[in-house]
Amino acid sequence: MMDYLGLGAFFLITFIAAISGGYFRPGDFYKSLNKPSWNPPDWLFAPAWFVLYFMIAIAGWLVWMKDGFALALLIWCIQIVLNALWSYLAFGLNRLDLAFYEVVALWTSIAAFIFAALPIDQTAALLFIPYILWVSFAAALNYTVWQMNPETVPRGRT
């Protein structure tokens, strides 16, 4: 029974992180920006993140079940906080520059989790592969949109 309560807790934590993306939405700011031709349609983001959050929760739970609150789970916690922070920076503050630097930190934490989880639970590590691929794409998109819209960075900042 405790195993399933733990799984529920991981789903709750990822749901809380997902709230950030639901609260800080692209809106008019993002719609007004120049974007590359390979920018995906808006409707794609919600189902993609739904699947990713599902896998993120399960990966964290698998590691917790086998290793408890050790290094891999600490890294999992860091990545979930960074995950939630990106929407605030990009769409809450409209700072694509800060969002890009943050997504690099997120990518690093995802990679670190994969390597830390691999000896503990291979399935947990593999569940993060689509996540790192999506975040790699998101980082490239974030950087490209930022570079196409340099006016989004306040004067005197880079």
At 1 the pLDDT is 60
Ranges of the chain whose pLDDT falls below 70:
1-2, 155-158
**What tens digit of pLDDT does each residue of 70-79 get?**
999 999 999 9
Contacts of 79 (CB under 8 A, 6+ apart): 56, 106, 109, 110, 113
**What tens digit of pLDDT does each residue of 127-151 get?**
999 999 999 999 999 999 999 998 8
Ordered structural domains, the chain, with CATH: 2-34+43-152 (1.20.1260.100)
Q: What is the pTM of this model?
A: 0.92
- Nearest-5° angle of CA 152, CA 91, CA 12? 155
- What's the DSSP call for residue 29? H
At 155 the pLDDT is 62
